[in-house]
Chain A
Amino acid sequence: MSFTHLNVSSAFSAHYGVNRPNQLAAAAAAMGFPALAITDRDGLYGAIKHIGACIQVGIIPIVGVSLEVTAEKSLGRVVILAHGNNRGKGWATLCRIISQAQEHRGKKKEISISITELARFFKDEASCTILLGPESALSELVLTSRAGALQQLRQWLEHFPLPASLAIELVNHMTEPGAPGSANHANSMFELSKQAGVPAIITNAVRYIEPDGALTADILDSARNLEALGLFAPQPNAQASLKSWHQMAAIALEITEDPAKSVELLKNTELLAEKCFLDPQADCGWNQPKTPEQSALGITGNPFEVLWQKSHAGISLRYPDIKAAELASVQHRLSQELIAINKLGFATYFLTVADVAQMIRDMRIRIAARGSGAGSLTNYLLGISNVDPIEEGLLFERFLSTERSTLPDIDIDVESARRHEIYRGIFRRYGGNRVTLLSMQSTYRGRGAVRDGGMALGLEDDQVDEIAKNMWRFSARNFRAEMAEKPELADFSKLTETDRKLNLLVDITQRLDRLPRHISMHPCGVILGDSQLLDLTPTEPSGMGLPMSQFDKDDMDPMGFLKLDVLGVRMQSAMAYTIREIARVKKETVDLDAVQKDDPDVYKMIRTTNTLGLFQIESPGQRELTGKHQPTKFNDLTMQISLFRPGPMKGNMIKPYLDGRHGFIQPDFMHPDLREILQETYGVVVFHEQLMRIMNVMTGCTLARADEMRRQLANPKKANAVAGYFKKAAAARGYKTSVIERVWSILEGFGSFGFCKAHGAAFAVPTYQSAWLKTHYPTEFIAGLLTHDPGMYPKRLLLAEARRLGVELLGIDVNKSAIDYVVQEQSGRLGVRVSLGEISGISKPEIERIICEQPFDNVTDFYLRARPSRRTLEKLALVGALDEVAGISKEDAAHNRADLLVKIRQLSSKAAPALDKNQLVFDLKNLDQLPIGNMPIANSEKLAAELQVTGMDISQHQIEKFQSMLNEMGVVRASEIGSLRSNTEVLVAGVRVATQTPPMRSGKRVVFISLDDGSGLTDATFFDEAQRRCSHLLFQNKLLLISGKTRRTGAKGISILAENAWDLRQLWQQWERRAS
């Protein structure tokens, strides 16, 4: 006889279960169980992973859910198990039940289904079984009133009369005799089942594999209850583990106190388990691709023929003046691609994506392809991608291989600000029965784990925040090991030696690491299926209101779902906004996608390394690389974007590439046949496409097969087979052993280091486009950047860049500012007007009222019609937004901002606004009569107010304040660093705008700091020893002074090898004291 656990919560029961589905399945298989259920709370979040894991370890999957059921009052939680081997009926019913229960959450925040709603799913047929178990109200009631319990059970039976609808679930967690969860309690339920004639089964209501997991469960309970341990009723003990068959048999005997009855109980359990055995193929459509029906795409006839026509029609659009010879090669490549697509049966998929792309363009939203999809000519011709794969040397086989049968990813970048419009458009176009959003599970990482662990232990928020702040770039699983290594954790490490709770916190944080925390909307995924989609996935409301699937991206392939990646990219919004501003202000139409990619001025601008605001190449590392690389053409941008990636960086490819480019070394192509392939990278193998072509040339294999082998290189076992094949086939084609060995030694380690060129080329398009806009329309571009904030730096750095570019910054003005940053003319010059939204705490209605009521005649008029809160009014006055309207903006005005502030503060200090409107007006009328003789506010104070209210230094750069001290100390400005010799001792100062700790080949941590001093950016590198001196400053302080040596890295590249750093404010205080 065997046993199957039918009530198992995985870690995807967020804040409840402890182990992941693959761990549970592996444990079950190791313990000899033939099958295993997953019954997560409120959804099928872990179900697909469970099924996949069960298939892998060779046991049978069972899937259910734990849901709350309500009548007049709550009937508690029950487990609902789907029956299997019924062509998906049980699975579909389970999905629909969950979606229904989730629909209510909007109103009540609670996820539940009423007993009458639930009964409707059981009207004609019982394709699921409901387990009334330890969390049901019934189980509670049986402890106090057997008669009451019997009555409630009869109520269940009335709603679910069909056999196999209901079962009583017995759980004995061996708590104190008589208490909930005790053997006696389970026995009462057993008696009740016999009395009512409902079959009883036994489970262990599993939350963790090993009893050790109970401690983690305690923490999760605390996180779920949002209370410290000790403030809520904890789990009774550590008995909810995945017990063995032997243990479960003993428990059954303890409940029934009768061997025959316990055997029957176990048998009933097994009978139910067998009813619930799922057939992944037949029940869930496992691995079977699903695409919208032709009718939904508006296609009649054979989809492949439609695809053939559409893509061929694209040739004349994309290649209008093509010559006959080239046309033949385009047609040849297209035919090859189409044959592969047809062989895989993916024609509908390409048509679907093309249809969506067309819909997006019809909505006049910017769109660009990303990723390997750019390697497909079909995508280019269908308008999905804007990269010509032939021109850029990209391979279709890297994108789609006939050797694999999963749907390829075609990722689309769109304007982030209009992403939701697109989602709604897709729902409208294909119908809510075919579309859902994709979800994602966020998991515990260092900081979240420390926070929730700290809360469980009842630590003070401030203390926990302080620890969390110092958790940088490491997995919480290694917290204790990292404490010994990281200088900024040294203080904390010391504390744990004496503070018991802090020491506990370390262990607890490690336990929480990587556990799922909550589900949210995936930033870019949309699932498109046929009209049966909602029978296959449960959905729940997303943040934006549209339903989202409970499955995440890893579940898409096994379920055969078509996932569209429609990623909102802020840069696309910024560029769209820039183009609109150009059209509005200059009456010029810019077709960015039609701009030639060879404008020398654009590359000249990039080569200055002032790449702030440019897509993909603005980070400190990319700026440094730009200085060394000095790009001159589009392919250089592709190259630069591709090289600065974890793979090529770890593979140490940048230096040999640059050496070859600058002629320091003679490129080594290893063999004349490889020259053409490796020419663009000076002999370094950087791209997946290059590796594929090398394989193709040297072994004669197809490119598709070459891509398969490329994937196998990552796996050491499979790599051996590839090595054997490569050496044999290359030798057979006459290559010398020495050449073969050399080439192989490079390909061998390539698996995880290379980069997909299509990806780099797709990214290089918006990189070039943003650079083109920055070169030719800097004012409009800055307005676009500030409005959509696409980059990695704080906004105030964009202001500094604007100043550097000579773009006028116009302060906030209630008469002229808008909700966005707008280009405006002031005294004959174009400038960028700072947006009203930058006032901290200003509400949307306040902004809308100001914009609707503009212009205002005077402050009173403004107050009456815009009706700002007093706080907002004061903030507006503080940053000078009322200067103009109050008539005090001119140098020679009779009043100054101080006078205005005094008046406004007098108003604000009064009690709540008077109800008597006349009185209020009377008071305000006096505003026109400002007090006089207040000391004008110093510029430094105005700046401080700006920083406080908007977080930005608008009128001048905040470093200016320290300039006298910096001059005295001989601090070098960023704009001057470039002219220094290498190895010069320098001091630099500025606002810390970026801190990065990229992965290093050596494994040692390096901290990169970027400082902005208004004249540009300085990058400083802190190695081990320097970190020890000042790591506490590097992650927390905003204003820094850094000492170090210059290090020249290329023609325009220079950075600081840091020795030490100081807090600029502290130095300033000391300096001022000394000066006075």
Chain B
Amino acid sequence: MDFEPATGIMLDADGAPTCFTWRDEVFMAASRPVRWYSRTLWWQYAEQAAVGQGQNLVETEMWRLWAAGHAGRYFFQLRHRMPDNQWEVEKATP
């Protein structure tokens, strides 16, 4: 699937998502979210790489969690895009 935006995101003290809206539906975390960092191939698209921009060019924060909404429970993989602070649903499997 293509990345779809996740909106209305709420985070806990560690920055873990607890609640978000996807496809007009609100989902609540139903397991301990697991954070990991995937890498990005910045040299394929970056316009510049000045000091200070490195981290966001090299890696992306990812979260895995079960979350439940009206439509049921899904296993989500969320992507936290920086520096514009956008959240996307990368995978959602029932």
- Min CB gap B58→A, angstroms: 4
State whether the Cβ of A52 lies closer than 8 Å to any Cβ in chain B: no
Known: A212-B51, A504-B49, A508-B49. A238 touches B44 (CB 8 A): no
| Centre residue among B35, B36, B39 by max chain A CB count within 10 A | B36
B39 pairs with A237, CB closer than 8 A: yes
Cα separation A213 to B50 with both chains bound (whole Å): 11
Contact of B36 among A182, A216, A507 (CB under 8 A): A182
Interface residues on A, range: 20 to 34
Query: Which of A172-180, A712-720, A821-829 lines the interface with chain B?
Result: A172-180
Looking across the interface, which residue of chain B has its beta carbon closest to that of A182? B36
B43 pairs with A238, CB closer than 8 A: no
Cα separation A177 to B34 with both chains bound (whole Å): 8
B55 pairs with A214, CB closer than 8 A: yes
Known: A177-B34, A215-B42, A234-B39. A239 touches B59 (CB 8 A): yes
Residues of A within 8 A of B84 (CB): none
A230 pairs with B55, CB closer than 8 A: no
State whether the Cβ of A511 lies closer than 8 Å to any Cβ in chain B: yes
Known: A177-B34, A503-B48, A504-B46. A213 touches B54 (CB 8 A): yes
State whether the Cβ of B57 lies closer than 8 Å to any Cβ in chain A: yes
State whether the Cβ of B37 lies closer than 8 Å to any Cβ in chain A: yes
Contact of B54 among A216, A230, A458 (CB under 8 A): A216
B54 pairs with A504, CB closer than 8 A: no
B36 pairs with A177, CB closer than 8 A: yes
State whether the Cβ of A910 lies closer than 8 Å to any Cβ in chain B: no
Interface residues of A in 158-175 (CB under 8 A from B): 173-175
State whether the Cβ of A29 lies closer than 8 Å to any Cβ in chain B: no
- Min CB gap A221→B, angstroms: 11
Residues of A within 8 A of B51 (CB): 212, 507, 510-511
State whether the Cβ of B52 lies closer than 8 Å to any Cβ in chain A: yes
Residues of A within 8 A of B79 (CB): none
- Min CB gap A131→B, angstroms: 23
B52 pairs with A212, CB closer than 8 A: yes
Residues of B within 8 A of A511 (CB): 49, 51
Cα separation A213 to B53 with both chains bound (whole Å): 9
Cα separation A503 to B47 with both chains bound (whole Å): 7
Residues of B within 8 A of A174 (CB): 35-37
Residues of B within 8 A of A175 (CB): 36-38
Residues of A within 8 A of B37 (CB): 173-175, 236-239
A507 pairs with B58, CB closer than 8 A: no
Cα separation A503 to B39 with both chains bound (whole Å): 22
What are the interface flags for A209-239 relative to B under an 8 Å C-beta threshold, 1 for contact and 0 otherwise? 0111111101000000000011000111111
Cα separation A230 to B50 with both chains bound (whole Å): 20
Cα separation A237 to B53 with both chains bound (whole Å): 14
Report the number of A-B residue pairs with Cβ-Cβ less than 8 Å: 87
Residues of A within 8 A of B71 (CB): none
A507 pairs with B49, CB closer than 8 A: yes
A176 pairs with B44, CB closer than 8 A: no
Known: A503-B48, A511-B49. A215 touches B57 (CB 8 A): yes
A211 pairs with B49, CB closer than 8 A: no
- Min CB gap A257→B, angstroms: 10
State whether the Cβ of A500 lies closer than 8 Å to any Cβ in chain B: yes
B59 pairs with A238, CB closer than 8 A: yes
A507 pairs with B59, CB closer than 8 A: no
B43 pairs with A235, CB closer than 8 A: no
Known: A215-B42, A239-B59. A500 touches B54 (CB 8 A): no
| Centre residue among B39, B43, B53, B57 by max chain A CB count within 10 A | B43
A237 pairs with B58, CB closer than 8 A: yes
Looking across the interface, which residue of chain B has its beta carbon closest to that of A176? B36
Interface residues of A in 190-221 (CB under 8 A from B): 210-216, 218
A214 pairs with B58, CB closer than 8 A: yes
Cα separation A996 to B38 with both chains bound (whole Å): 49
State whether the Cβ of B41 lies closer than 8 Å to any Cβ in chain A: yes
Known: A230-B44, A237-B59. A212 touches B39 (CB 8 A): no
Residues of A within 8 A of B43 (CB): 218, 229-230, 456-458, 501, 504
Residues of B within 8 A of A508 (CB): 49
Cα separation A214 to B42 with both chains bound (whole Å): 12
- Min CB gap B41→A, angstroms: 6
Interface residues of B in 41-93 (CB under 8 A from A): 41-44, 46-55, 57-59, 62, 64
Residues of A within 8 A of B48 (CB): 503-504, 507
Residues of A within 8 A of B46 (CB): 500, 504
Residues of A within 8 A of B54 (CB): 210-216, 238
Looking across the interface, which residue of chain A has its beta carbon closest to that of B50? A507
Cα separation A176 to B79 with both chains bound (whole Å): 12
Cα separation A982 to B54 with both chains bound (whole Å): 57
What are the interface flags for A430-463 relative to B under an 8 Å C-beta threshold, 1 for contact and 0 otherwise? 0000000000000000000000000011100000
- Min CB gap A207→B, angstroms: 12
- Min CB gap B17→A, angstroms: 16
Looking across the interface, which residue of chain A has its beta carbon closest to that of B48? A507
Cα separation A234 to B59 with both chains bound (whole Å): 11
- Min CB gap B88→A, angstroms: 17
Looking across the interface, which residue of chain A has its beta carbon closest to that of B64? A177
Residues of A within 8 A of B47 (CB): 500, 503-504
What are the interface flags for A497-541 relative to B under an 8 Å C-beta threshold, 1 for contact and 0 otherwise? 000110110011011000000000000000000000000000000
Cα separation A175 to B34 with both chains bound (whole Å): 11
Q: A212-B54, A238-B37, A239-B59 are in contact. List 17 more A-B contacts (CB 8 A).
A: A174-B35, A174-B37, A175-B36, A176-B38, A177-B36, A212-B51, A212-B55, A214-B55, A214-B58, A216-B54, A229-B43, A235-B58, A237-B37, A238-B55, A504-B47, A507-B48, A507-B49
Interface residues of B (CB under 8 A from A): 34-39, 41-44, 46-55, 57-59, 62, 64
For the complex of A and B, 10 pairs with smallest distance between CB atoms: A215-B54, A212-B54, A211-B55, A237-B37, A237-B59, A507-B49, A238-B58, A214-B58, A238-B59, A229-B43
Supply 12 A–B pairs (Cβ within 8 Å), ascending by A. Answer: A174-B36, A175-B38, A214-B55, A214-B59, A215-B49, A218-B42, A229-B43, A234-B41, A238-B58, A500-B47, A507-B48, A508-B49
